[in-house]
A and B are shown apart, each in its own frame.
Chain A
Amino acid sequence: MTIQTAGRSVTHASFTITRRWKAAPARVFAAFADQTQKDKWFGGGDAWEPVSRSFDFRVGGQENESGRWKKTGVVSHFNCVYHDIVPPSSNEPATNKSARIIYSYVMHLDDRKISVSQACIEIAPDGAGSKLVLTEYGDYLDGYDDAGSREHGTNALMDALAASIGG
C-alpha cells in the first residue's frame, strides 16, 4: 500500500450521459441485473482482461470486478455496494415510471485508491424502447496520473477533450 504524502487532493465532479435504445426497459435493466449479461459489456472491453469477479445484485449487496489493462499491465479494481434497485414495472404498459439502480463504488488502480463515487442509472420507457440516464457523482483523489489512468492508449481522445474544454 502506497501512502501518498505529496499531491494530496480531492476533486469533486459530476456528469450525465443519456442513451436511447430500441430495447424495452426490461431488457436494459436485465443487462445490469444479470451477471452473465453484464459481463458482456461492463468491464473494459477488448483492451482489458478480467482477474477476479463477484456479483450480488440486491440492496446492500456488493459487486467486485478486477481486471488488467493489457497495454499497461495496470490492474483496476471496481468495488460497489447497491443502495437502491427498482426494476421496471413490466405489467403496466407505457407508464413513465423509471427503473433505477443506485450504487456507490470505489476504484483502485493497482493498490492506489483513485476515486469514491456514486452512480445513478435511470431507465425510462421511451416509446417502445428505453432512455437511459447515467449520473455519476465523484470524489476523485490525489491529482490525475496520466500513466495510471490512460489504460486504453487512447491518449489522443483525452488530449482532444483537454483542448476542447480548455478552449
Chain B
Amino acid sequence: MLNSTLDKTFAALADPARRAMVERLVLGPATVSELAQPLPMSLPAAMLHLKVLEKSGLVTSEKKGRVRTCHIDPARLSLVERWVGERRRLWEARLDRLGAFLDATKPEDEA
C-alpha cells in the first residue's frame, strides 16, 4: 500500500511544472494564480497539473470566496514514510544515473 502511494507521488512529480508547484508550496500556502503565474502556461493548463497533484494526495486545496488556496503539510509524515521516502529517493536517483549510463554505453546492436 505504501508503495502504491509512493508510485502515485513519484508519477505526480514526474513533471517539471508540478515539481515547481510543489517547491513553491513547501514555502507556504499559495493561491492557484500564484502557483500558475511563474509557469509558461495558461491558467487552465496549470489547473490540470494541480488536479494531478491533488489526486496524488500531495496537495490539498480549499476555496474561500473566489480564491482557492493550496497547501501541503509535511508534518503528517510518519517516521517509516520519511525513512522509506529518503532511501527510496536515493535509489531512484541512482537508478536514473544507471539508466543514463546504460544508454550512453549502448552497443550498436542494441535496440
Inter-chain contact B87/A136, CB cutoff 8 Å: yes
Contacts of A11 in B (CB 8 A): 79-80, 83
Contacts of B100 in A (CB 8 A): 41
The number of residues on chain B lying at the interface, defined by a beta carbon within 8 Å of a beta carbon of chain A, is 53
Inter-chain contact A154/B98, CB cutoff 8 Å: no
Contacts of A144 in B (CB 8 A): 79, 82-83, 86
Determine if B58 is an interface residue (Cβ-Cβ < 8 Å).
yes
What separation, in Å, do the CA atoms of A42 and B57 have in the docked complex?
Answer: 31
Inter-chain contact B98/A164, CB cutoff 8 Å: no
B66-108 to A contact mask, C-beta < 8 Å, 1/0: 0000001111111111111111111111110111111001110
Inter-chain contact A155/B81, CB cutoff 8 Å: no
Decide yes or no: A22 and B91 within 8 Å by CB, A13-B80, A144-B83, A163-B57 being known contacts. Answer: no
The number of inter-chain residue pairs (CB within 8 angstroms) is 160
What separation, in Å, do the CA atoms of A167 and B92 have in the docked complex?
Answer: 22
What separation, in Å, do the CA atoms of A162 and B90 have in the docked complex?
Answer: 16
What separation, in Å, do the CA atoms of A114 and B97 have in the docked complex?
Answer: 24
Q: Give which listed residue, A15, A40, A143, A164, contacts B79 with CB less than 8 A.
A: A143
Contacts of B91 in A (CB 8 A): 17, 134, 136
Decide yes or no: A163 and B74 within 8 Å by CB, A23-B102, A155-B26 being known contacts. Answer: yes
Decide yes or no: A15 and B88 within 8 Å by CB, A23-B110, A41-B94, A166-B73 being known contacts. Answer: yes
Determine if B42 is an interface residue (Cβ-Cβ < 8 Å).
no
Inter-chain contact B26/A160, CB cutoff 8 Å: yes
Inter-chain contact A156/B6, CB cutoff 8 Å: no
Inter-chain contact B93/A45, CB cutoff 8 Å: yes
Decide yes or no: A165 and B13 within 8 Å by CB, A27-B102, A159-B72, A160-B26 being known contacts. Answer: no
The number of residues on chain A lying at the interface, defined by a beta carbon within 8 Å of a beta carbon of chain B, is 49
What separation, in Å, do the CA atoms of A140 and B93 have in the docked complex?
Answer: 20
B106 CB to closest chain A CB, in angstroms? 7
Decide yes or no: A23 and B106 within 8 Å by CB, A158-B89, A163-B57 being known contacts. Answer: yes
What separation, in Å, do the CA atoms of A129 and B94 have in the docked complex?
Answer: 19
Q: Give which listed residue, A42, A150, A163, contacts B72 with CB less than 8 A.
A: A163
Binding site for B on A (CB under 8 A): 9, 11-13, 15-17, 19, 21-24, 27-28, 31, 37, 40-42, 44-45, 115, 117, 128-129, 132, 134, 136, 138, 140, 143-144, 149-150, 152, 154-167
